[in-house]
Structure 1
Amino acid sequence: MLNIPEHKLIHDVPTRWNTAHDMLVRYVEQQPAIFSALLDKTAKKTGKDLAMLSDGEMKLAEGLIQLLSPLKQMTTLMSSESTATTSMILPLKTRTLRAMTANPQDSPIIREAKRAVTADLEKSDTNPDLIDYLHRATALDPRFKSLPFIDEAACDQVYKGLVAEILDHEQQVEGTHAEDEDEEKLPSASALPPPQKKTAMSDLFGELFTTGEQHPKPLSATIEGEVALYRAAESLHIDGNPFQWWKLHQHKFPCVSKHAKRYLCVPGTSVASERVFSTAGDIVSASRSCLSPENVDMLIFLQKNMKTE
Structure 2
Amino acid sequence: MLVRIKKPAIFLMMLLSRIARSPQRIQKWDNWPGCTKAINYDVDTRWNSTFIMIERAEECRRQLKDTVNDELEIEALRLTSDDWRQLSNIKKILAPFNEYTEYISQDSLSIHMAARLYEELHSMLLAIRERQGDWKNLSAEATILVSDRISLLERYYDYVKCNDIYYIASILDPQIKTKWLKMLPDGEKIIVRIRAFLKKAYPAQKKPISTALSANYKSLEYRFLEAFQPIQYNISESDIDQYFDTPTISTGFDPNQSQTEFIRNWWKANKLEFPCMAKVAQDHLAILAAEVDVERLFNGGRDILGIRRFSMNGRTLGTLLRLKDAARWKSE
TM-score, normalised to structure 2, is 0.70
**Partners of 2:143 and 2:214 in 1: CA distance:** 82
Question: Taking CA–CA contacts closer than 8 Å with sequence separation of 6 or more, which of the two structures ends up with the larger relative contact order?
Answer: 1
**Partners of 2:267 and 2:32 in 1: CA distance:** 52
1:86 aligns with 2:111: yes
Letter in 1 for 2:250: E
Q: Counterpart of 2:269 in 1: which secondary structure? A: helix
Asked if the contact 1:94–1:149 (Cα under 8 Å) also holds between the matched residues in 2, the reply is no
1:126 aligns with 2:158: yes
- List per-residue Cα deviations over 1:157-214 (Å, max 9, x = no partner): 444334433433443864xx86xx99xxx97842789xxxxxxxxxxxxxxxxxxxxx
Matched-pair identity in %: 17
Asked if the contact 1:88–1:138 (Cα under 8 Å) also holds between the matched residues in 2, the reply is yes
Shift of 1:238: 8.4
Asked if the contact 1:2–1:32 (Cα under 8 Å) also holds between the matched residues in 2, the reply is no
Shift of 1:128: 8.0
Q: Alpha carbons of 1:15 and 1:257: their partners in 2 closer, same or farther (altered >3 Å)?
A: same
1:76 aligns with 2:102: yes
Shift of 1:145: 2.4
Letter in 1 for 2:93: L
Q: Alpha carbons of 1:124 and 1:223: their partners in 2 closer, same or farther (altered >3 Å)?
A: closer
> 1:1-309 alignment to 2 at 5 Å?
4=34, 6-40=36-70, 43-44=71-72, 47-49=73-75, 51-83=77-109, 85-100=110-125, 101-102=127-128, 103=131, 104-127=136-159, 130-142=162-174, 144-148=176-180, 150-151=182-183, 154-171=186-203, 174=206, 189-190=214-215, 219-220=236-237, 222-229=239-246, 231-234=247-250, 237=253, 239=255, 240=259, 241-306=262-327, 307-309=329-331
Shift of 1:233: 3.1
Structure 1: where are the runs of 5+ without partners? 194-215
Q: Alpha carbons of 1:133 and 1:3: their partners in 2 closer, same or farther (altered >3 Å)?
A: same
Shift of 1:24: 0.7
**Partners of 1:51 and 1:128 in 2: CA distance:** 42
Higher gyration radius (CA): 1
Q: Alpha carbons of 1:123 and 1:236: their partners in 2 closer, same or farther (altered >3 Å)?
A: farther
Shift of 1:127: 4.6
Asked if the contact 2:112–2:173 (Cα under 8 Å) also holds between the matched residues in 1, the reply is yes
Paired residues, number: 274
**Partners of 1:187 and 1:217 in 2: CA distance:** 15
- List per-residue Cα deviations over 1:20-65 (Å, max 9, x = no partner): 110011111101122123334xx45xx4545310111110000000
**Partners of 2:48 and 2:323 in 1: CA distance:** 29
TM-score, normalised to structure 1, is 0.75
Asked if the contact 1:142–1:242 (Cα under 8 Å) also holds between the matched residues in 2, the reply is yes
Q: Alpha carbons of 1:289 and 1:2: their partners in 2 closer, same or farther (altered >3 Å)?
A: closer
CA RMSD after TM alignment: 3.5
Q: Alpha carbons of 1:236 and 1:163: their partners in 2 closer, same or farther (altered >3 Å)?
A: farther
**Partners of 1:302 and 1:146 in 2: CA distance:** 40
Shift of 1:287: 1.4
Q: Counterpart of 1:70 in 2: which secondary structure? A: helix
Structure 2: where are the runs of 5+ without partners? 1-30, 219-232
Q: Alpha carbons of 1:159 and 1:166: their partners in 2 closer, same or farther (altered >3 Å)?
A: same
What's 1:198 paired with? Answer: none
